[in-house]
Amino acid sequence: MSKFAAGKGFAVTALVAAMSFSGMATAGVTDKDILNDQATTGDVVSNGLGLRGQRYSPLKAVNTDTVKDLKAVWSFSFGGEKQRGQESQPMVKDGVMYVTGSYSRVFAIDVKTGEELWQYDARLPDGIMPCCDVINRGVALYGDLVIFGTLDAKLVALNKDTGKVKWKKKVGDYKAGYSLTAAPIVVKGKVITGVSGGEFGIVGKVEAYDAKTGKIAWTRPTVEGHMGYIWKDGKKTENGISGGKPGQTWPGDLWKTGGAATWLGGTYDPDVDLLFFGTGNPAPWNSHLRPGDNLFSSSRLAIDPDTGKIVWHFQTTPNDGWDFDGVNELISFDYNDGGKTVKAAATADRNGFMYVLNRESGDFIRGFPFVDEISWASGLDKNGRPIYIDSNRPGNPAAATDGKKGKAIRAVPSFLGGKNWMPMAYSQDTGLFYVPSNEWAMDIWNEPVSYKKGAAYLGAGFTIHPTNEEYIGVLRAMDPKSGKEVWRYKNYAPLWGGVLATAGNLVFMGNPEGYLMAFDAKNGEMKYKFNTGSGIVGSPITWEMDGEQYVSVVSGWGGAVPLWGGEVAKRVKHLNQGGSVWTFKLPKEDS
């Protein structure tokens, strides 16, 4: 095989891989490894390059001066006909890359050669109901296990050396609309996962499982009124309801099918010993059916990792009527204010506002728009609650003459958000957040709807359209202390992939046009671009091996945009789907 290798040039079966690779077995991933991931450069063992999710690396061999010489050293194809929506972040440990592909597949790849070591394909039933493409965002590593979620709502733990199943657990009923798409995280030996399915009226939840055995430790529903449980010594014990009484901020029984899916997964900050999970839209979309704040939908939750207790919550869009999910990652960071260190956390919401919170208490510190236009609110009050523009809420179908369709309004951002799932990065050098965002609007209207298990539960119609001819995507450098935009890069197609910041004064990001790009972190000047052959909607990583710095990114166009994008989908319809992971490094003399 040539040095520039395609992993599918010859297939290695799981059996052969097990025979050849078992002799290379090494020590597994520990809790210490995971907690130190942001500081160790020889591997990547957590989603977000550290449980805080900052996506920052201290590596700097690849920098603003040398990045121009970055070369592809191998590309591995996921193969088959399942080439779409590759939103994964790879992991790297002891010379092996672990990466997921669409349709609930996992691959182990030799990082020196790009050759496949093993592949696992989940046996999915015909009735899976993924809302927003057949994607998966990555694995968790612990001990000798590779753990991931499937589209039929199972957690699966595989042996890292062979790909053989060690344990498997059902997290939800796929026939009711549950699925798993997020990369799980491991905290204190527990696998922590959220669930997808908010468009089907499921009940969101966060759950913890013993990483070694798969035994459930606790479950915490994220809709007010539902009971949580904790398991101790094999006994199941009630662990309190989520929030107040059933239906306190919900009318009637709608809380029973309230949505609030935790579909992006979470982060963790050891300084305050809290998990941070975001929750999705309340169900149904038609907000006139459910007057009230509809807790804990469209919110950020701080959860005790030992018990599943909700310690605090912050709701970004009470009584959400635009599908402005609050799932976007909450990233912990510290900053100095008048000589005092503030333990903060920041999030860029689908609704177009960026929020800085006190991560110890959940108190609102400041909020500001990070997109050019917001139509549904005039701003935020002193507590961070949106000041609604009532005329820009989709109309009530009950008030229509035919009772079938409420008044349509133009809303900005669209329901796909000022920022969607694609994770931002925080640079410890510049103190800036690098936010992948989109400028688009929607026409949206409400319709009557009733719940039926396993059926779409929207009660709304919509059409998305760009707000500019020249661009939709904008990579923004945002100052969390001032709320000011420092620089921006405009992209013709929507941005849908994650961002990586490094000590080399670089910001890496991919776009749907297929380019892996690198920007000067201080001024936004593009320093590098390389076309991978398909749109990038994954999240890049970097690590070092044998004294050399590597960069990897998954390529494969798909996700929600071509499925839901209306007029925007027309703009990107020529883009080719794919499924591969690319790895780059500097030539020897430059590194």
Q: Is residue 36 included in any domain, yes or no?
A: yes
d(CA 303, CA 296) in angstroms, rounded, equals 13
Q: What is the pLDDT of residue 261?
A: 98
- 323 catalytic? Reply is yes
Question: Is 453 contained in some domain?
Answer: yes
* 361 assigned to some structural domain: yes
pLDDT score for 493: 96
pLDDT of residue 145: 98
- Domain ranges, residue 283: 5-585
Task: Tell me how far apart the alpha carbons of residues 269 and 34 are, in angstroms, rounded to a whole number.
Answer: 12
pLDDT score recorded for residue 242: 81
Let me know if residue 591 belongs to a domain: no
Residue-wise pLDDT for 59-90, tens only, equals: 999 999 999 999 999 999 998 777 889 999 99
Domain assignment present for 401: yes
Q: What is the CATH number of the domain that holds 453?
A: 2.140.10.10
> In which band, very low, low, confident or very high, does the pLDDT at 7 lie, cut at 50, 70 and 90?
very low
| Other Cβ atoms closer than 10 A to 363 | 12
Say which of 37, 323, 325, 349 is annotated catalytic.
Answer: 323
pLDDT category, 565, cuts 50, 70, 90?
confident
Is residue 1 very low, low, confident or very high in pLDDT (cuts 50, 70, 90)? very low
Q: 506-548: per-residue pLDDT in tens?
A: 999 999 999 999 999 999 999 999 999 999 999 999 999 999 9
Mean pLDDT of the chain: 93
User: How sure is the predictor about 265, in pLDDT bands with cuts at 50, 70 and 90?
Assistant: very high
Residue 26 has pLDDT above 60, yes or no: no
CB 218 within 8 A of CB 230: yes
What does the pLDDT read at residue 3?
38
15 pLDDT more than 50: no
**473 in a domain, yes or no?**
yes
DSSP state of 398: G
Q: Is the pLDDT of residue 8 over 50?
A: no
Domain membership of residue 208 (yes or no) is yes
Q: Which residues pair with 187 in a beta bridge?
A: 190
Q: Tens digits of per-residue pLDDT, 171-225?
A: 999 999 999 999 999 999 999 999 999 999 999 999 999 999 999 999 999 999 9
pTM above 0.85, yes or no: yes
pLDDT at res. 216: 97
Domain presence at residue 50: yes
CB contact set of 571 (below 8 Å; sequence gap of 6+):
466, 472, 492, 493, 565
Q: How many domains does one find in the chain? A: 1
| pLDDT tens per residue across span 444-478 | 999 999 999 999 999 999 999 999 999 999 999 99
